[in-house]
Chain A
């Protein structure tokens, strides 16, 4: 550029430029709504925040517990109103603090002292009155492929009768990738979007054969009945991160679960069928699949600068 303003650091990286826009602090909204409450399967909460901005926002969240966290949505819900959703595993009442940033067009500053840089279109690029975002660190994280490697024997095949708190234990995600030596400030806040997704399922079946007569080499001479039950338990997961000291863990959060069951009975007398037929086939769209496992960025900053 032949005019304007440019500030770089000793590594020649741009700090402030009239050709770009810096992110600035625009607000710290409280939780507006708690959604997707799950108390089994490892627990889940989704916290929704609402903020006003004329331009897209970039949220950061704190992690007050050792649960998994991640941003699951940033959406414009009409006009200048934006809704941000943060996912958390576990069942505690703790809520992440939300710090929202945007470029300086988002809010009107107050005060008359500081430094203001304009772009060539006359809109602000940097405004020291608005508390610019200062990044303190970051890393790339990838999630393990399988949230739950082995599903145990013991879920009921009969009409999905294993209750959620018992079936949930079988599906609690327990796999993490660990990243060590991550330096964080005294009050760290994180920007991390939950992109990775996974689905896991297991079908438990029972087949019962009853012969009221003589069973001759597997053939029933008399009244015969065959019953079959199948219960397909499933869980859907989204990726999250948690901080433990100087480690960041990338793991999973259960965001939905359920079970589908079928039952069939067939009868015969003296080898002559007296009723019953069934069939099944085809493929499910996503069955035991994991999606979007490419490494995702985690950006770290000091939340105490904006309190």
Chain B
């Protein structure tokens, strides 16, 4: 799995799952030597029983980051 995201921290959310603070990024090149990376750091709750990385990948794919 290509993972242009990083999990910064997790904490349990009772009755719901795991609260995950994460960072996701994408890099664009406007011309040789010139690049720009856009990054978003935010929070999501991954339900109990779900694999955190797979869940994040699916959410980020649907939202347009990946």
Instruction: State the A residues within 8 Å of B (CB).
Output: 145-146, 149-154, 157, 200-213, 215, 220, 287-288
Q: Which of these, B19, B33, B45, contacts A210 with CB under 8 Å?
A: B33
Contact-residue size bin, chain B (C-beta under 8 Å from the other chain): 20 to 34
Q: Which of B16-59 contact A (CB under 8 A)?
A: 16, 19, 21, 25, 32-45, 59
Q: Which of these, A149, A204, A208, contacts B44 with CB under 8 Å?
A: A149
Given contacts A149-B45, A203-B40, A207-B39, A288 and B21 within 8 Å (CB-CB): yes
Q: How far is the CA of A150 from the CA of B21 in the complex (A)?
A: 12
Say whether A150 contacts B16, CB under 8 Å.
no
Say whether A203 contacts B41, CB under 8 Å.
yes
Closest to B65 in A: A153
Please count the residue pairs between chain A and chain B whose beta carbons lie under 8 angstroms apart in the complex: 70
Instruction: State the B residues within 8 Å of A (CB).
Output: 13, 16, 19, 21, 25, 32-45, 59, 63-65
Sample 21 A-B pairs with CB under 8 A, ordered by A number: A145-B13, A145-B45, A149-B44, A150-B59, A153-B40, A153-B64, A200-B43, A202-B42, A203-B40, A204-B39, A205-B38, A206-B37, A206-B39, A207-B36, A207-B37, A208-B34, A208-B35, A215-B33, A220-B33, A287-B21, A288-B42
Q: How far is the CA of A287 from the CA of B19 in the complex (A)?
A: 12
